[in-house]
Amino acid sequence: MTDKIHLEILNRRDFVLGASAVAALATVVPLGGNRALAKSVSWQETMKAVIGDAKPAAGKVSVELPEIAENGRTVPFTVSADSAMSSGDYVKAMHVFSTGNPRPHTISMYFTPGSGKASATSRMRLGKTQDVVCVAEMSDGKFYMGKRTVKVTIGGCGG
Partner 1 sequence: MAKPRVKVPKTAKAGEIIKIKTLIAHKMETGNRKNKKTGKLIPRKIIQDFQAKFNGKEVFRANLHPGISANPYLAFHAKVDKSGEFEFTWTEDTGKKWSAKKSITVG
Nearer to partner 1, 25 or 109 (CB): 109
Nearer to partner 1, 18 or 113 (CB): 113
73 binds partner 1, rule: CB under 8 A: yes
What whole-number distance in Å separates Cα of residue 20 and Cα of residue 28? 13
Stretch that binds partner 1, among 2-10, 21-29, 98-106, 146-154 (CB under 8 A): 98-106
Nearer to partner 1, 21 or 41 (CB): 41
What are the two backbone dihedrals, phi and then psi, of residue 144, each rounded to the nearest 5 degrees? -130, 155
Least distance to partner 1 from the beta carbon of 17, Å?
Answer: 25
DSSP bridge partners of 135: 95, 145
Largest CA distance in the chain: 50
Q: What angle do CA 73, 75, 77 make, to 5 degrees?
A: 150
Stretch that binds partner 1, among 16-24, 25-33, 53-61, 94-102 (CB under 8 A): 94-102
35 binds partner 1, rule: CB under 8 A: no
Nearer to partner 1, 5 or 38 (CB): 38
What whole-number distance in Å separates Cα of residue 143 and Cα of residue 135? 7
